[in-house]
Amino acid sequence: MRDIHIKNYEGYVYDVAVPVSESFFGGTAPVLLHNSDERGIGIIRGKIKDFARTSPIGKSQFKIIFLDEADSLTNDAQAALRRTIEKYSHICRFILSVNYSSKVIEPIQSRCTVFRFSPIKEDDIKKYMRKIAQKEKLEITQDGLETLIFISKGDMRKAINVLQVGASISKKITAQLLYETSATAKPEDVKNLINTALTGNFMAARNQLYDLLIKYGLSGEDIIKQIHQSIFDLSIPDESKIKLIEKTGEIEFRLVEGSSEHVQLEALLAYFALEGNKLR
């Protein structure tokens, strides 16, 4: 967001999910679409505060500020936002769109009415993907469609983005193409990696790990999330699953804190190998 524009907004309705949008107008009041690229305290104290404290234009009793992906704001920025909400609530209403409500500080949550939206149904995503494919003259294979469902996890915007990236490479959308262009490894490849580690063959598992990272362009956090999902499908005692999940969570925390990806991922595989030896 670089500037705030006010115009005759009657009849305007825009999609808030459009990338690089800078302003948004809809309904009966101008709405500010906040870009998550600017998420520090400066944007709150500057542009948003300046916009919030100006009087509404025309017959509107209040203005609306829409903050998209507000959970990406820093804690200092959220604290400043809380004070802005309190001070200008008589002339301004705030709508916050978030992916993870746990990342929004409690003082803001307590001042808002919370609406939770469930993931979009698989059939609805498939229907929309087929509609896009027809209009864009794309061929989506059945396994490609199922892969879109797996990767998006009920997020329509993510499904569209993944499809768009795949379509930029080929007009034929297959499962393999989507995995390679979305930083997502095939579930069976991740499961094979874990099973190799559990057999105690650490070096083979290490080689498989690096093959996956290179082939699918994965980051450490990407592969950790998929390993976490795959653990639940392993044919091992629940007690062992608990230990693996606990260790996976510990490694993810270290990665978030900035530890070396290679060292931490190898440490995780080493732990899996040791735990696998106990199972034999």
CATH value at residue 199: 1.20.272.10
What's the rounded Cα separation, in Å, for the pair 95 and 234? 42
Please indicate, yes or no, whether residues 222 and 266 belong to a single structural domain of this protein: yes
Q: Tokens for 270?
A: 């080493």
Please indicate, yes or no, whether residues 34 and 70 belong to a single structural domain of this protein: yes
Question: Which CATH number belongs to the domain containing residue 152 in this structure?
Answer: 1.10.8.60
Number of domains in the chain: 3
pLDDT at 279: 84
On whether residue 49 sits in a domain, the answer given is yes
Using pLDDT thresholds of 50, 70 and 90, give the confidence band for residue 50.
Answer: confident
Phi, psi of 64, rounded to the nearest 5 degrees = -125, 130
Pairing type for strands 29-33 and 24-26 reads antiparallel
pLDDT at 196: 95
Which of 61-70, 137-146, 166-175, 208-217 has the lowest average pLDDT? 61-70
Q: Could you give the C-alpha distances from 234 to 40, 81, 222, 229, 259, in angstroms and in order?
A: 42, 45, 19, 10, 28
Of the candidates 139, 161, 181, which is a domain's last residue?
A: 181
On whether residue 9 sits in a domain, the answer given is no
Question: What 3-state class would DSSP assign to 21?
Answer: coil
Domain that holds residue 127: 122-181
pLDDT by residue (tens digit) across 79-124? 888 998 898 888 888 888 888 888 999 999 998 988 888 889 999 9
